[in-house]
Structure 1
Amino acid sequence: MKGVLLTIVSASSFMMAGQALAVDAKVAEALAQKNGCLACHSVAVKVIGPSYQDVATKYRGDKTAEAKLIAKVKEGGSGVWGPLRMPPNSPHVKDEDIKIVVQWVLSL
């Protein structure tokens, strides 16, 4: 009986964690929209910049990716995805917003 109860509790915890992630994704996507990120990027399709799924794939397994991408979003840059320059997003986008959006992108 203890094993069954533990399984039920674990499954419930997993489902709740999944729901929390869905909420976080919605929040992150709303922040990306609010801060103008989606003018140049989309989740699945290259617009001006790469799709967020392509970014996630490129950096999958890179333990330094979050810090790299936060810096890239803040400072801007070019050369990784082509010749067009991504403009700097600091100081008009809050650091917390950048971090949330980058974590979301990397989770795709």
Structure 2
Amino acid sequence: MKLPTHLTARLPALLAAAGCVLSFGAAVPGVAHANQQLASSKACLSCHGVDKKLIGPAFKDVKAKYAGKKDGQPHMVQSILKGSNGQWGAMPMPANAVSEAEANTLAKWILSL
């Protein structure tokens, strides 16, 4: 099937736009909201605020510490899965009851804030 000329001329721009939306899904309000709901359902927001420190650091502070580092997201995923101690003070973070996929989603969401 051959596409009409008016569509084929716009196809590269449409594909590029679609790729941006898929690549930066956290920028889409519904996706960001869903990831915040995941954080809430896994009790992350009981200890962490998005903008302010609670028991643990604010997620925006976590982002500031790990954004742009090659091992930042993998390190965050491991901390979410296994817990951590001494990275943000004396209060340890316990391991969380999340799958590895959920931990990756949470880490990506935090880095997108």
Give per-residue Cα distances to partners, 1:55-107, cap 9 Å, x unaligned: 00111210111110111111111111100010111xx2122111101101011
Name the residue aligned to 1:103.
Answer: 108
User: CA separation in 1, counterparts of 2:81 and 2:75?
Assistant: 10
Post-superposition offset of 1:15: 8.2
User: CA separation in 1, counterparts of 2:102 and 2:85?
Assistant: 21
Task: Output aligned runs, 1:4-83, within 5 Å.
Answer: 9=14, 13=18, 16=21, 20-21=25-26, 22=28, 23-83=30-90
Instruction: Name the stretch that deviates more: 49-58 or 18-27.
Output: 18-27
How has the CA–CA distance of structure 1 residues 71 and 11 changed in structure 2, closer, same or farther, with 3 Å as cutoff? closer
Identity of aligned residues (%): 32
Root-mean-square deviation (CA, aligned residues, Å) is 2.5
* Alignment TM-score, normalising by the size of structure 2: 0.76
How has the CA–CA distance of structure 1 residues 82 and 18 changed in structure 2, closer, same or farther, with 3 Å as cutoff? same
User: CA separation in 2, counterparts of 1:36 and 1:49?
Assistant: 12
Stretches of structure 1 lacking an aligned partner (at least 5 in a row): none
Which of 1 and 2 has greater Rg? 2
* Alignment TM-score, normalising by the size of structure 1: 0.79
User: CA separation in 2, counterparts of 1:17 and 1:97?
Assistant: 18
